[in-house]
Structure 1
Amino acid sequence: MIEEGDRIAVGVSGKDSITLLIALAQLQKFFDKKFYLEAITLTLGLGDIDLDFAKKLCEKIGVNYTIKETDIGKIVFEERREKNPCSLCANMRRGALHNTTKELGCNKVALGHHKDDVIETFMLSLLYEGRLHTFSPIAFLDRKEVYIIRPLILTSEMEIKEFVEANEIIPIDNPCPVE
C-alpha cells in the first residue's frame, strides 16, 4: 500500500481522516520505507470553516497543509439546484481532491474509510444495485494516474472514535446545508 518514495496526500475533512493523518505521520517515524505526507482540505464555498485544529496539528506533526478553495457548494446548490445534491457533490469533491493531489506532485491519495464504511457500502450496493460490491483498499485511477489507498480499512469506527476521544481531536465542521 505504501512504497518507498511515495508522496501521499491525505484528504482531511473529519475525525476519520484526521486519525489517518496522525497514524501515517507516526508510521513515518519507524517504517522502513520513506514516504512524504501532504494534508489537503477542500472548502466548498459554503461559508467560513474553522481549520485551526487541522492547521495546528499539521504544524505539530510536520506535515504541509494545503487548503484548496472550491466553488463546489455554489455549483451544486445555486447553479445546478440539485434535489439530491450528495452524489454530485461527492463526485466533484473527489475530482477536486484528485486534481489537487496531482498538482502537489503526489502519486497517492489516502482516504479515511474504515471497516464500517466497507460494510455499509457493501450492504447499500447489495440492496440498491443488486450486486456484491464495495471499495478496494488500493485502487488505481487511470485518468488521473494516482492511486487511492485506504490504510484504515481494517480499523473499526469504534476504534477511531476511541482514538478521537483519547486525543481530543476536533473535526472540521461541515457547512453543508444537507447534513
Structure 2
Amino acid sequence: MEKHIEIERSIIKKYRKQIWSRFTSAIRDYKLIEAGDKIAVCISGGKDSMLLAMCMQHLKKYSKIPFEVEYIVMDPGYNEENRKRIVDNARVLNIPVEIFETQIFDVVELSGGAPCYLCARMRRGYLYRYAQKLGCNKIALGHHLDDMIETVLMSMLYAGEIKTMMPKLHSSNFEGMELIRPMYMVHEEDIIAWARYNDLHFIQCACKITEKIEQETGGSKRHEMKMLVKQLKKINPNFDLNIFTSLHNVNLDTVIGYRENGKRHSFLEYYDNIIINDATKKC
C-alpha cells in the first residue's frame, strides 16, 4: 500500500473518533460546505493545515455534496529548508499543491509594530485574492479547537472582552468570499498523535521575527495561553471542552453588557421590563 493511502486510512480508521468524526461534525453542524462550493484549502506547511488538506481530499472523494477543492500554499518568505519540507510532505501525502510567492516576512520585519497581527492580516488578504483568482468562493484554514480556546482566553485576559474565533466568516473586503474552519472541533493533541503515528514531520512557525520575539520575551501570548490551559486541565480535565460548550450556551439573562453590530448594549435597557415569576430568583 502506498504511503499516502496508509496515512489517509489512519484518519478514518485509527483516528476516526478523534479526528474524522469531529471534522465531519464541524462541517455538518456549522454548515461549512454547500453544493457548488469551490474551496481553497490554505496550507502553511504545518501539521494542522496538512491534516486539513488530507481530510478535505478524502471528503471530496466520498461526499454526497458536490464541491471542488484547490490546495494552495502561500510562501511568505520561507527559507529553502522549510520550502523543501512543504514540497516533500505534499508529495508524500499526495496533495496537489499550488505555490505562490509573497514577501510578507520582509514587509513585516521592516514595519515594526505588532508583527503577528500584521502578518495574519496580510496572509489573509493574499489568500483571499489568490483563491478568487482560482474561482473559489471559500478559503479553508486549519485552526483547531485549542486555537479557539486560546483566542478566547487572550481576549478576556488581555483585551477585556469575550471574543471567540468563529467557525466561519464572511469576508468584509472580498465580496462573495467566506472563510471556514473545518478543524474547529479537533484537539491539537490528536493532530500531534496522528503526525507521530505516521512518522510525519512538518514545519513549525518558520517565522524568524516570532523566533526573535520569543527569545527576547520568553514566549508569545498564545504560548502563554497554551501553558495556562495545560495547568488548568490538571485541575479539571474538561476545562477546554467546558469553555467550548459555554460559548454555544451563553445565558444572555445574566450578561451585563454586550456589543452587536458595533453597538453597545446594557442589561439596564431591559431590566425594568423583566417580570420574575420564579420566587427563587427574587432578591
8 Å CA contact retained: 1:11, 1:41: yes
> Identity of aligned pairs, percent?
37
Partner residue, 1:7: 38
- Higher CA-based Rg: 2
TM-score normalised by the chain length of structure 1: 0.89
Partner residue, 2:91: 56
| 1:54 Cα offset (Å) | 4.0
Residues 1:32 and 2:67 are matched in the alignment: no
As a proportion of its length, which structure holds more helix? 2
CA distance in 1, matches of 2:173, 2:124: 13
CA distance in 2, matches of 1:156, 1:40: 24
User: Aligned partner of 1:96: which letter?
Assistant: Y
Count of aligned positions = 174
SS in 1 for 2:99: strand
SS in 2 for 1:101: helix
**CA distances 1:11-30 after superposition (whole Å, capped 9, x unpaired):** 10110000001011111121
**1:143-162 maps to which residues of 2 (within 5 A)?**
143-144=173-174, 145-162=176-193
TM-score normalised by the chain length of structure 2: 0.58
Provide closer, same or farther for how the CA distance between residues 176 and 155 of structure 1 changes in structure 2, counting only shifts above 3 A: same
Residues 1:95 and 2:125 are matched in the alignment: yes
**1:125-164 maps to which residues of 2 (within 5 A)?**
125-144=155-174, 145-164=176-195
Provide closer, same or farther for how the CA distance between residues 124 and 102 of structure 1 changes in structure 2, counting only shifts above 3 A: same
| 1:174 Cα offset (Å) | 4.5
Computed over aligned residues only, the root mean square deviation of the Cα atoms, in angstroms, reads 1.7
Partner residue, 2:200: 169
- Structure 1 ranges of 4+ moved more than 4 A: none
5+ long unaligned stretches in structure 2: 1-31, 212-283
As a proportion of its length, which structure holds more strand? 1
By relative contact order (CA 8 Å, sep 6+), the higher-ranking structure is 1
User: Aligned partner of 1:109: which letter?
Assistant: I
| 1:135 Cα offset (Å) | 1.4
